[in-house]
Structure 1
Amino acid sequence: MSAPMLSFVSVPQAQPDKRTADARLKDFDEIYVDFARSEAERQASRCSQCGVPFCSVHCPLGNNIPDWLMLTAEGRLEEAYAVSSATNTFPEICGRICPQDRLCEGNCVIEKGFESVTIGAVERFVTDTAFEQGWVKPALPVRELGTSVGVVGAGPAGLAAAERLRAAGHTVHVYDRHDRVGGLLIYGIPGFKLEKHIVARRQKLLEEQGVVFHLNQAIGAGSGEVSLGQLRERHDAVLIATGVYKSRDIGGPGSGLAGIVPALDYLTASNRRSLGDALPEGELDAADKDVVVIGGGDTAMDCVRTAVRQGARSVKCLYRRDRANMPGSVREVKNAEEEGVEFVWLAAPEAFLGDDTVTGVRAQRMRLGLPDGTGRQSIEPEPDGLFTVKADMVIKALGFDPEPLPEQWDAEDLEVSRWGTLKVDRERFETSLPGVFAAGDIVRGASLVVWAIRDGRDAATQIHKWIKERALAPLAAE
């Protein structure tokens, strides 16, 4: 029997059960147990069906969340999936890794007093059920257009664009320098947040749709690489969706010591091990080490939670502000603390100690000052606030910047912003090169997966429109 709506007054919020912290530390499997159908329907029925759904307003994809929550509560799961997937190319991924506490759930109108609807968990349940029941089908085109689009980057933006373009009838070729499809979904996000078979399942669906993948294929001017000029000759349009992979560095005395590693290198090595790839023993492995992670975002949370699973002796996270000002997901911080991670708040690294290999981090205790121009509290050092944290592995999780694509690709006419991101027309997604478009982090800077999906879908719409206009131009000239 379906559950009535607006039941938030009688039904308390419930997240899916989590495996115990001790059990979680033994593997890299996802930590949440799937909802039972009855519980998913009960939780969906808590939706207030408000006139102005702030959950949808604050979702980058504009998902019709109240609609598919109502359908779920009524037991109409196939219809719920149809509504969800109409705006979201990868709802099973967003349901797992989106920071719902900062987006849809954090803006739920019943949050104050009744706690929000568990939107992410219901989204994951609906989509996983759709896959299990065979409701998820490749979006096959109605007719072939005889046009071709090349997509550089098999991450969320590139895949979302490829799916939309192929559905419209274009032949789509996706080029990626890595050996697997998914980008950061595969190599940057640990399995305890997103098991890799979830991404492989989507890859299979895209291949059935007709998307062609060219893996281990770098773009550039070197031997074995395909140049941007060649891509432009092969395809009617090109989309650049490479993401941003250049790790931000940290200076100071001792910053070049061995044992200080970028977060992405560390996470990639861990994910490769989980996928069965052979790596040199001990390489970028936290086993039996005192680990210090510097940073306060979601990447830092991925690193600390990976380190405890690898058997680190101790894991500490240094962040220069306090818990309330941490940019990472509140839910991820809580999970990390449950798993034994120690957070050292209001602490900024000043120097790294050691001769050849790092042995410790000298840090400065900080305090919050007056708000700056953005309204965020500034930080200032505490007098006599120096202290040392023992470490024989330091992971820098300070964010990512774009790689210098015009230099790497020998494409001087490809214009970039002062931040190194690609310049595009904000409405059309077109770069300074005609017929070359860009979307995702390479345009907006390091951001959320859900924003990359949105950008990829929007860019696909503009590419389709551009190709169609070019095809009609000769007729208009007659």
Structure 2
Amino acid sequence: MAEKMLQFVTRPQEMPDKRPAAERAQDFGEIYRGFALQRAEEQASRCSQCGIPFCSVHCPLGNNIPDWLKLTAENRLQDAYLMSSATNTFPEICGRICPQDRLCEGNCVIERGFESVTIGAVERFITENAFENGWVTPNLPQAERDRSVGIVGAGPAGLACAERLRARGYQVAVYDRYDRIGGLLSYGIPSFKLEKHVVERRGALLQEQGVVFHLNTEIGDAEGQTSLSELRARHDAVFLATGVYRARTAPMPGAGLRGIAPALDYLTASNRRSYGDVVPAFEDGTLDAKGKAVVVIGGGDTAMDCVRTAVRQGAKSVTCLYRRDRANMPGSMQEVSNAEDEGVVFHWLGVPEAFLGDDRVSAVRARRMKLGMPDATGRQTVEPEPGPGLVIEADMVIEALGFEPEHLPELWAQPDLVTTPWGTIKIARDSFMTSLPGVFAGGDIVRGASLVVWAIRDGRDAADAIDAWVGAPESEMTLAAE
């Protein structure tokens, strides 16, 4: 039995062991080794069991974090897993990729002075231990229902919705354009943060549960595609969880030069290689950073994924160019630190002005910036700094500037599907219903590019809304257009 709680005064914070930078930069394996049982218990015992658990308050899923920390400290590990999985469909994934420094750990009440509890590492330990002991089983329904739901998108929002509805007995079919489930979990996030067997293992559980996957299925109105109208006729309800995949670009002189690639194209090629796929754009060197001077433009987690992938591909040099300073980066500070350890050079307060080169990019010309007054959101604006700029050598430029939604009403020939001014699907917030009766939406296609944990939350909440609507179709549920 572990010691009592509130051990943060005498027991220091310890993160899981991290493989040395020189070693981990040579492969795509996860960089953290994971806690052993004793260390997991010890670190969980640091929890203060505070009256108002700000870790839970700032978790999009409202995870009962102090409770499963206490259960872990007491070596009640099966109970800890049951508590953790009650609110989180994929705790083994969130434990690896959630930006805990901005969410639960960043709001831990002992963070100032004693350093936070290592919540993410303990969450990962709890679930991996549960898998090892055979405690993770498909959430089978107690009774079957003759109602079906079609889900468009096999990313975290779609999968979370599928799992929750299937557990209630619905016949659930998931449609996805790709040949594997997971969405960005499979093709966007590198294996050094989330090894692909973790996603595949969860997918196998969903299949055992009875979720049916229709992969390589494009939704649209063109020949050979499955239309949304068909799905609406086939199912009692449809949930749209397509995510946002259209890359933002930087329109500037030289934007058409060879050697400039969108971040998602680059990461998808690398992840497909990890699966053993043949990727022509990688094989011919277009999306391979080996031997190149690589410049990544952007400061979010996607940018960090790109710079760290380039290191592992054997780039000659890797530079990250970001318009604000380190303190104002939107990405995880832990990821920035990992990238620095692996040799990435950061140019803060720099905005690209032009891509230089004849036929192929050879450099990025950037303007130096300074931070100005806060804007309406409280974030400092950026202003040009007088004086000369800088020129950064670049054989390859990766634009990690964020993502925008595809224009689904046009692609799907559904003019009545109402979108917001930003192109995301408009829903009624109390019901997740779009402007089309029986068609719901959630995740990034509603929020814009966001966190995996928010997608899981939307998938779970949308499942509840769909259950309420399908279970009582005569009820009046608000449409998004109203």
Q: Shorter-normalised TM-score: what interval? A: over 0.9
Secondary structure of the residue aligned to 1:238 is: strand
Question: Does the CA contact (< 8 Å) of 2:245 and 2:405 recur in 1?
Answer: yes
CA–CA separation in structure 1 for the residues paired with 2:3 and 2:338: 31
Secondary structure of the residue aligned to 1:359 is: strand
Is it true that 1:343 corresponds to 2:349 in the alignment?
no
Which residue of structure 2 lines up, in the alignment, with residue 375 of structure 1? 378
Shift of 1:385: 2.9
List 4+ stretches of structure 1 deviating above 2 A.
Answer: none
Structure 2's unaligned 5+ residue stretches are: 477-482
Is it true that 1:304 corresponds to 2:307 in the alignment?
yes
How many residues get paired?
473
Which residue of structure 2 lines up, in the alignment, with residue 271 of structure 1? 271
Once the two structures are superposed, what CA deviation does each residue of 1:323-365 show, in whole Å capped at 9, x if it has no partner?
0111110000000000000000010000000111100000001
CA–CA separation in structure 1 for the residues paired with 2:316 and 2:197: 30
CA–CA separation in structure 2 for the residues paired with 1:470 and 1:199: 34
2:105 partner amino acid: E
Is it true that 1:406 corresponds to 2:409 in the alignment?
yes
1:45 partner amino acid: S
Which residue of structure 2 lines up, in the alignment, with residue 250 of structure 1? 250
Secondary structure of the residue aligned to 1:239 is: strand
Shift of 1:34: 1.5
1:314 partner amino acid: S
2:109 partner amino acid: V
Question: Does the CA contact (< 8 Å) of 1:366 and 1:385 recur in 2?
Answer: no
Shift of 1:5: 0.3
Q: Pick the aligned partner of 2:421 from 412, 418, 422.
A: 418
Q: Pick the aligned partner of 1:462 from 460, 465, 482.
A: 465
CA–CA separation in structure 2 for the residues paired with 1:124 and 1:3: 21
Secondary structure of the residue aligned to 1:291 is: strand
Which residue of structure 2 lines up, in the alignment, with residue 115 of structure 1? 115
CA–CA separation in structure 2 for the residues paired with 1:307 and 1:315: 7
CA–CA separation in structure 2 for the residues paired with 1:38 and 1:399: 41
Which residue of structure 1 lines up, in the alignment, with residue 480 of structure 2? none
Once the two structures are superposed, what CA deviation does each residue of 1:56-77 show, in whole Å capped at 9, x if it has no partner?
0000000000000000000000
Which residue of structure 2 lines up, in the alignment, with residue 259 of structure 1? 259
1:120 partner amino acid: G
TM-score for the superposition, normalised by structure 2: 0.97
Shift of 1:2: 1.8
Which residue of structure 2 lines up, in the alignment, with residue 357 of structure 1? 360
1:446 partner amino acid: A
Q: Pick the aligned partner of 1:440 from 434, 438, 443.
A: 443
2:461 partner amino acid: D
Which residue of structure 2 lines up, in the alignment, with residue 179 of structure 1? 179
Is it true that 1:388 corresponds to 2:391 in the alignment?
yes
Q: Taking every aligned residue pair, what percent have the same amino acid on both sides? A: 71
Secondary structure of the residue aligned to 1:458 is: helix
Shift of 1:471: 6.6
Q: Pick the aligned partner of 2:336 from 330, 333, 344.
A: 333
Structure 1's unaligned 5+ residue stretches are: 474-478
Question: Does the CA contact (< 8 Å) of 1:44 and 1:69 recur in 2?
Answer: yes
Which residue of structure 1 lines up, in the alignment, with residue 215 of structure 2? 215
Is it true that 1:151 corresponds to 2:151 in the alignment?
yes
1:353 partner amino acid: L
2:335 partner amino acid: E
Which residue of structure 2 lines up, in the alignment, with residue 431 of structure 1? 434
Secondary structure of the residue aligned to 2:71 is: helix
Is it true that 1:238 corresponds to 2:241 in the alignment?
no
1:273 partner amino acid: R
Shift of 1:222: 1.2
Question: Does the CA contact (< 8 Å) of 2:259 and 2:286 recur in 1?
Answer: no
Shift of 1:369: 1.0
Secondary structure of the residue aligned to 1:470 is: coil
Question: Does the CA contact (< 8 Å) of 2:469 and 2:475 recur in 1?
Answer: no
2:221 partner amino acid: A
1:231 partner amino acid: L
Shift of 1:472: 7.9
Question: Does the CA contact (< 8 Å) of 2:81 and 2:130 recur in 1?
Answer: yes
Question: Does the CA contact (< 8 Å) of 1:258 and 1:357 recur in 2?
Answer: yes
Once the two structures are superposed, what CA deviation does each residue of 1:91-133 show, in whole Å capped at 9, x if it has no partner?
0000000000000000000001000000000000000000110
CA–CA separation in structure 2 for the residues paired with 1:472 and 1:148: 18
Q: CA RMSD for the aligned pairs? A: 0.9
TM-score for the superposition, normalised by structure 1: 0.98
Secondary structure of the residue aligned to 1:383 is: coil
Question: Does the CA contact (< 8 Å) of 1:365 and 1:382 recur in 2?
Answer: yes
Secondary structure of the residue aligned to 2:387 is: strand
CA–CA separation in structure 1 for the residues paired with 2:474 and 2:286: 53
